[in-house]
Structure 1
Amino acid sequence: MNGGKIGYMNIFQLSSTVRQDIELTWKMVYNLFPATVNLEDSDKSALLRNFQLKLWQIEPILENIENAEKYAMMDAEEFENLIVHFYEGTFPKGQELSKTEILKIFQPIWIYYYTKMVLPVVYMDLERAELMGIIWLLFFENGYTNISPDCMEMCRNIKKVILRELKNFQNEKDFDDMRFIETIETLQLIERGEKKFMEEMMICEMHNVRIHDDFKAILKESKL
C-alpha cells in the first residue's frame, strides 16, 4: 500500500518513482535540517535509501488520514479492486495471476496493513506537527549499519531535538502525558509494517511480480 498513488499506479509504476522520491525527500531534509549539508555523500545516500521503505509505510497512513471518509465508505468489492489493480500488468507474459489468485495471495497482507498499522495510527487523531515528528524520527534512525559513526551521532542529536519539540508541542496543547508515549509507539507499528512489507516483496519475487531495478537495489541493501 502506498498513499494516494494507490488506484492510479501498479506496483511496478510506483517502484519506478524511487529516484524522484529520494530527490524530493532530500530537498525537504536539507531545508528543515541544514546541518545535514555536512554529511558525506555516502551517508546522505544511505539515509535516503534507508528511508524509502519507511516511506512506503507512512504514505498510506497519511492518505487514510486525509481521506478518512473515502476509505470508511469503501465496500469489499472496491477494496478488492484496489488490490487487484496494484498487481495487474506486472506479471511476465504467460505467468499472469487471475483476480482470484491475486486476492488469495495478497489480500491478507493488505488487511494486516490496514488493521494493524494504518487504522491504529488513524484512530490516534494525531495533529500534523505530531505526524511530521514521527516522519523525521524515522528518517534520522541511527541504528543502521550502513552509515558512519559521525552520521549516527548527528542522527542521535537531531532525534533528541525532534523529541523535545514534539513534547513541547503536546504540552502546549495540554495533551495527556500518555499521548507522547503513544506517539512514539507508532514507530514500532511502522517498523512491524516494514517487516511485513519485506515479506510481501518476497512473495512478489516468488510470483515474478515486476519491480523496478532501483527499488530492488534498495530492497537488497536492506537485507544486508
Structure 2
Amino acid sequence: MEKCLAVGMQRDQIQGPRDVIENPKKMKMIGGRNSSFAPSENSYKLRIEPGICYRHLDRIHCTTENYRNLENTRLSVFNKHPNASKELDVHEFSIEIMTDIKLIWRLCETTFPEFNALCQQDKKTLFYNFIIKWNILELSIYSRKYNDPTKFYSPSGAVAKPADRFYENGKLSKNEINQIFGPYWAYRYENVNNPLVAMGFDETENMALLGILLWDPGYTNINESLAETCHAMRKIIFRELNSCYESSEDETTSRNFFTILDSLSLIERAEQKCREEIHLCGVHKIEFDQERKNMILWDKN
C-alpha cells in the first residue's frame, strides 16, 4: 500500500476491504478526507483503513479553524475586547462560562460531523462528559495567551477575583474562605494550571486535545456503539497528531506525545477536585449557576 501511494496512487480511490453486512440499514463511516456517514437507530460505526499513515490533518485543521472563528465570536457575544481589568466572583464567572458553553457545543457540531449525527441524548452525554475537562484545559490556554499563569481568565478576558473575594457570600469571613477554599485554589495554580502552561502545547496540540477529550470512551454512561465510535475517532486524532510530530524536525516530538497523555491524567484529577469544590459551595450556600453545577456534578459512572 505504501509503495502504491509513493508512486502517486490516491488513497481515496482505493477500495478498502469489504465487510459482512449484518444490517442493511447500517452504514459505516470511513475515516479520512472523503468521510460519509449515516446515523441509524443510535448505531454509529467508524472504520479506519489499516496501514495508512495520516498525512492530512483534516480533523485537527478543521478544529483549529473553527476555534479561531469561535474566538472572534466571543468578542461579539461578550460585546467587548479582552479586558483583564474586570474581576469576576464565582457566580459571575460561572454565568459567563455557561454562555460560552453554548458556543463550544456549536463548535463540536460544526467540527465533527460524527458528533452532529448522534441522537440528542448521545450528544448530551458525550458533551457533558467532556466540557468540564475542556474548561480546565482552556484556563491554561487563556493563561498562556495573556502570558500570566498566576491568574484565571474567563472567555471574555476578565479575571477571577482573589480567592477570599471570589467565594464571598456575606456569611463567611476572609479567613474562613481561605481555610475552606484555599487548598483548592492552591491546587489549581500549582498542580493544574502551571503544569499545563509549562507543557507549552501549541495550537495544533490544543486542538488535538479538544478532540481527544470529547471522544472519550472511558465512561459507563455511554452505550456500546457510541464507545466504538469514540475509540475510532480518538484513533484518527492520535494518528493525525503522530503524523504532525513525524513531519516535524524537532527531536522532542516523542516526548511531546507522552506529554499529551500526561496532561489527560492531570486534567482528570483536576476535574475531581472541581467536583469537591462545588460540593463545598453548596454546603456553604455560595451562589452558583445551577446548570453549571449540574454539569460539574454530572454522573459519568
TM-score strictly above 0.5: yes
Choose which of 29, 41, 44 in structure 1 pairs with 2:123: 44
Give CA deviations for 1:132-155 in whole Å, capped at 9, x if unaligned.
111221111112222222221111
Shift of residue 169, structure 1, vs aligned partner: 1.3
Matches within 5 A, 1:92-103: 96-103=171-178
Residues 72 and 27 of structure 1: is their aligned pair in 2 closer, same or farther, counting only changes over 3 Å? closer
Aligned to 2:181: 106
Shift of residue 173, structure 1, vs aligned partner: 2.0
Pair 1:24-2:109 in alignment: no
Choose which of 161, 164, 183 in structure 2 pairs with 1:84: 164
Aligned to 2:38: none
- Amino acid across the alignment from 1:112: Y
Could you tell me which runs of 5 or more consecutive residues in structure 1 were left unpaired when the two chains were aligned.
Answer: 74-78
What is the SS of the residue equivalent to 2:135? helix
Comparing both chains, which one has the higher relative contact order based on Cα–Cα distances under 8 Å and sequence gaps of 6 or more?
1
Could you tell me which runs of 5 or more consecutive residues in structure 2 were left unpaired when the two chains were aligned.
Answer: 1-82, 152-158
What is the SS of the residue equivalent to 1:45? helix
- Amino acid across the alignment from 2:295: I
Shift of residue 6, structure 1, vs aligned partner: 10
TM-score by length of 1: 0.82
Matches within 5 A, 1:124-135: 124-135=199-210
Give CA deviations for 1:194-224 in whole Å, capped at 9, x if unaligned.
1111111122122111222212322343365
Shift of residue 72, structure 1, vs aligned partner: 5.8
Aligned to 1:53: 132
Shift of residue 123, structure 1, vs aligned partner: 1.3
In 1, the alpha carbon distance for the partners of 2:213 and 2:86 equals 26
What is the SS of the residue equivalent to 1:208? coil
Shift of residue 157, structure 1, vs aligned partner: 0.9
CA RMSD of aligned residues (A): 2.7
In 2, the alpha carbon distance for the partners of 1:26 and 1:80 equals 24
Residues 185 and 101 of structure 1: is their aligned pair in 2 closer, same or farther, counting only changes over 3 Å? same
Shift of residue 9, structure 1, vs aligned partner: 2.6
Aligned partners of 2:143 and 2:197 also within 8 Å: yes
- Amino acid across the alignment from 1:25: I
Q: How many residues align?
A: 211
Aligned to 2:145: 66
Aligned to 2:93: 14
TM-score by length of 2: 0.63
- Amino acid across the alignment from 2:93: L
What is the SS of the residue equivalent to 2:298? helix
Shift of residue 102, structure 1, vs aligned partner: 1.4
In 2, the alpha carbon distance for the partners of 1:72 and 1:217 equals 28
Aligned to 1:76: none
Structure having the higher helix fraction is 1
- Amino acid across the alignment from 1:144: Y
Pair 1:214-2:291 in alignment: yes
Aligned partners of 1:22 and 1:48 also within 8 Å: no
Aligned to 1:121: 196
Choose which of 244, 257, 261 in structure 2 pairs with 1:169: 244
Residues 17 and 44 of structure 1: is their aligned pair in 2 closer, same or farther, counting only changes over 3 Å? farther
- Amino acid across the alignment from 1:213: Q
